[in-house]
């Protein structure tokens, strides 16, 4: 025979005389038959199984007696059959506008055809209600926007006031710093001038003392010369002793004066260093206070700006979200109204 099964890849192994070929062709299990439902060509040995599972075979609905495809029988029984008490009831497409009808597909089609004027009236009422709610929403949005403008304006004024106060404080501190620097320079110049005067006085006194000492020494030499010529040796020794005593007194006086001037100079130097240290500490404290005040003010300004940005973003997000919802509702209402007009 040589026929093959295209699905199973098997081959008929029948062998016989050529005269018996027509009879075998009618009974060969590998012959090709046509499905009565889908008209597909199927191997005869697979025809029974194909007829049992063919998706184009028809069956009768037990409730209404309608002849349907097997693939559609389940959905028909579940939602379309008007005589099936257990069929699911679908809500009307206009239920959100107030229609309370529910039923199977056929009943729904009749309801939509008969209740079109009622549906149109419901949609019109919903549109009017949406217009009223939109007006109320717009008033709320306007009040929120006005409140936001007030908050932003007040915050801007507060920031400007803080900025002006910061500038004023910084300018005042700069002026005070310049004044303290000027006073410090004047004080330093004064102490340097006084120290120069003290040093000059000390130099003049030292020169005068040196001249006086030299004069005394010269006078002593002259007296010694004259006494060596006129006086006895004992008398000269006594006068020499007196002269040396006077020289020692003068030298002690000079040393005391020098010591006093040195102590006075050291005292003035220590006082000058103390005053300079105190002024420098005052300048450092003032600068630190100015830096801290400026930093606090900048921190407050930054915080106000961040709070204002956050409030503004929240308001914008709420407005955008509400606008989207309202636009979507209006678009849905417009679409349904257009569908109703097309049906009319």
Question: Can you tell me the distance from the alpha carbon of 344 to that of 330, in angstroms, rounded to the nearest whole number?
Answer: 21
More confident residue, 337 or 229: 337
The two three-digit tokens of residue 120, written as one number: 């149109």
- Residue 96: predicted pLDDT: 78
- To which residue do tokens 């006093």 refer? 260
List, for residues 285-311, the tens digit of each pLDDT value.
877 887 787 788 778 777 877 877 787
CA angle 237, 239, 240 (to 5 degrees): 60
List, for residues 48-106, the tens digit of each pLDDT value.
888 888 888 888 877 777 788 888 877 777 666 655 544 456 678 788 777 877 776 66
Element (H, E) at 107: helix 105-114
Rounded average pLDDT over 183-193: 81
Most confidently modeled of 29-33, 103-107, 190-194, 338-342? Answer: 29-33
Residue 227 has pLDDT above 80, yes or no: no
Which segments of the chain does DSSP mark as H helices, in order? 21-27, 47-53, 70-75, 105-114, 116-230, 233-343
pTM (predicted TM-score): 0.31
Residues of the chain above pLDDT 90, percent: 0
Residue 232 has pLDDT above 60, yes or no: no
Question: Can you tell me the distance from the alpha carbon of 7 to that of 4, in angstroms, rounded to the nearest whole number?
Answer: 9
Q: Tell me the average pLDDT of the chain.
A: 78
Sequence-distant (≥ 6) Cβ neighbours of residue 326 within 8 angstroms: 130, 134, 137
Q: How many CA atoms lie within 13 A of 266 on its CB side?
A: 6
Residue 240 has pLDDT above 70, yes or no: no
For the chain, give the longest Cα–Cα distance: 199
Least confident of 101-110, 149-158, 224-233: 224-233
- Residue 87: predicted pLDDT: 46
Least confident of 25-29, 76-80, 165-169, 285-289: 76-80
Taking a C-beta distance cutoff of 8 angstroms, is the pair 84, 63 a contact?
yes
Q: How far is CA 101 from the centre of its chain?
A: 53
Residues 159, 162, 166, 169, Cα dihedral to 10°: 160
List, for residues 202-214, the tens digit of each pLDDT value.
788 888 878 887 8
Most confidently modeled of 85-94, 160-169, 261-270? Answer: 160-169
Contacts 24+ apart (CB under 8 A), 323-327: 326/130, 326/134, 326/137
Helix (H, G, I), strand (E, B) or coil at 91: strand
- Residue 85: predicted pLDDT: 45
- To which residue do tokens 């009808």 refer? 101
Taking a C-beta distance cutoff of 8 angstroms, is the pair 108, 92 a contact?
yes
- Residue 230: predicted pLDDT: 59
Sequence-distant (≥ 6) Cβ neighbours of residue 151 within 8 angstroms: 308, 311
Report the residue count for the chain.
344
- Residue 86: predicted pLDDT: 47
Sequence-distant (≥ 6) Cβ neighbours of residue 49 within 8 angstroms: none
Rounded average pLDDT over 227-244: 65
**DSSP secondary structure of 147-178:** HHHHHHHHHHHHHHHHHHHHHHHHHHHHHHHH
């Amino acid at each position: 025979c040589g026929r093959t099964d295209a699905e199973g890849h098997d081959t008929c192994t029948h062998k016989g005389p050529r005269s018996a070929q027509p009879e075998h062709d009618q009974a060969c299990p590998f012959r090709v038959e046509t499905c009565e439902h889908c008209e597909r060509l199927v191997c005869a040995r697979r025809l029974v199984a194909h007829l049992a599972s063919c998706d184009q075979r028809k069956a009768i609905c037990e409730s209404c007696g309608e002849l349907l495809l097997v693939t559609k029988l389940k959905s028909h029984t579940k939602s379309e059959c008007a005589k099936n008490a257990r069929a699911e009831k679908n809500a009307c497409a206009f239920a959100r506008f107030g229609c309370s009808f529910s039923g199977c597909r056929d009943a729904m089609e009749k309801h939509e055809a008969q209740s079109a004027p009622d549906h149109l009236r419901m949609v019109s009422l919903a549109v009017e209600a949406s217009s009223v709610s939109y007006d109320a929403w717009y008033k709320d949005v306007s009040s929120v926007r006005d409140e936001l403008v007030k908050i932003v304006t007040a915050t801007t004024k507060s920031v400007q006031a803080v900025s002006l106060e910061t500038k004023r404080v910084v300018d005042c501190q700069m002026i005070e710093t310049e004044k303290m620097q000027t006073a410090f320079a004047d004080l330093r110049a004064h102490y340097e001038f006084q120290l120069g005067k003290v040093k000059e006085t000390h130099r003049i006194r030292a020169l005068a003392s040196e001249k006086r000492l030299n004069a005394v020494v010269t006078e002593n030499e002259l007296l010694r010369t004259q006494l060596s010529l006129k006086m006895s040796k004992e008398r000269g020794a006594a006068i020499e002793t007196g002269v040396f005593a006077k020289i020692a007194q003068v030298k002690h006086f000079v040393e005391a004066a020098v010591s006093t001037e040195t102590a006075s100079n050291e005292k003035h130097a220590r006082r000058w260093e103390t005053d300079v240290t105190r002024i420098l500490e005052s300048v450092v404290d003032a600068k630190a206070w100015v830096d801290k005040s400026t930093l606090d003010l900048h921190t407050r300004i930054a915080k106000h700006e961040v709070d204002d940005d956050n409030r503004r973003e929240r308001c914008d997000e709420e407005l955008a979200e509400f606008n989207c919802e309202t636009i979507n509702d209006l678009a849905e209402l417009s679409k349904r109204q257009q569908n109703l007009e097309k049906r009319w």
